[in-house]
Amino acid sequence: MVGSIAYDSVTSPVGNVEDALGGSAVYAGIASSFHGRYLSLGKIGLVGVVGQDFKQTDIELLESQGLDLSGLEIAEGNTFRWEGSYEGDMGIAQTHDTQLNVFGEFDPKVPKQATKPKVLFCANLVPMLQMQVLQQARGSRLSMLDSMNLWIEIARDDLLTVMQSVDLIIINDGEVRMLAGDDNLVRASRKLISMVNCHTLIIKKGENGVLAFHNGEILALPAYPTENVVDPTGCGDSFAGTIAACLASASGPITKSELRDALIRATVTASFTLESFGTSGLLSLTIERFNSRLQQFQDILS
């Protein structure tokens, strides 16, 4: 797994947090590891960069989650920082400040023993860096990537190129519309699939659930309905990290029912991220609480 590692400062209608451990690889990594423990996946390798200001306690926290940090570079300078806020229904983050810091010079190196994982997940990151990782490593079952609107705006061609190199893409509904230039989500999705030739496209719709296209078939799920929305940061990453873990637990072509089960588990995982600032909702998750909410969600679905 590759992605960003950050210190985030977030304000939402219910409070704020400063310099909280975050970033796409952190949320996705913790979520993947949580599920990996119960799916007997073994350690999940994390490739990323932090600065010299990165706290030793955060290194220990990531290791305690079962992540293999041999691909983590500690570079001269400061860790990537993001500052943002959410308002109203908290559907969209407003970015106030982004400091790339050590990301400006990052040259990702995948450790030799990690070049053939079952699933390679490029979490949200500069598309060119995702490409550098894909040149060093491939998932034996699946390579997948997540992205964000910023890269569509400033690195659209790079993003489309890297998308052509993976099997499964996870992005949100607005991003599919932007990439395909079509307001109709179903048409836009089919266009994007033919533009990049992936077998699976998973579209995150936040509080409106998820729509997925898989080998010509469609899957759709509502979100888990939650009253306790605290901080949406990392929801999409923990959603995607859960999918990566679930799809790493079997072999052969991905089936529709396997994908549906992964989407359900990813939805439930993201609902825990949403309920606390930073990674604390994920970190305090137990398999008992997960299974209880999974059952609740299954009841809502059927």
Q: CB-wise, 141 or 293, nearer to its own copies?
A: 293
Q: CB-wise, 81 or 293, nearer to its own copies?
A: 293
Q: CB-wise, 94 or 208, nearer to its own copies?
A: 208
Q: CB-wise, 85 or 226, nearer to its own copies?
A: 226
Task: Please check whether residue 238 is in contact with residue 33, taking contact to mean a CB–CB distance below 8 angstroms.
Answer: no
CB of 227 to its own copies, least distance (A): 5
Alpha carbon distance 254, 233 (integer Å)? 29
CB of 192 to its own copies, least distance (A): 13
The secondary element (H helix, E strand) that includes residue 196 is helix 185-196
Count CB neighbours of 242 within 10 A: 25
Alpha carbon distance 289, 13 (integer Å)? 26
Count CB neighbours of 209 within 10 A: 17
Q: CB-wise, 41 or 211, nearer to its own copies?
A: 211
Q: CB-wise, 154 or 300, nearer to its own copies?
A: 300
Q: DSSP H helical segments within 21-155, as ranges?
A: 24-39, 56-64, 127-136, 149-154
CB of 255 to its own copies, least distance (A): 13
CB of 88 to its own copies, least distance (A): 5
Residues within the interface to its own copies (CB under 8 A): 13, 88-90, 177, 183-187, 190, 205, 207-209, 211, 217-223, 225-227, 229, 260, 299-302
The secondary element (H helix, E strand) that includes residue 44 is strand 44-50
CB of 89 to its own copies, least distance (A): 5
Task: Please check whether residue 275 is in contact with residue 290, taking contact to mean a CB–CB distance below 8 angstroms.
Answer: no
Count CB neighbours of 248 within 10 A: 24
CB of 223 to its own copies, least distance (A): 8
What does the block give as tokens for 21?
């451990």
Alpha carbon distance 87, 214 (integer Å)? 34
From the list 194, 191, 131, 123, the residue with the least C-alpha distance to 158 is 131
CB of 17 to its own copies, least distance (A): 19
Q: CB-wise, 128 or 218, nearer to its own copies?
A: 218
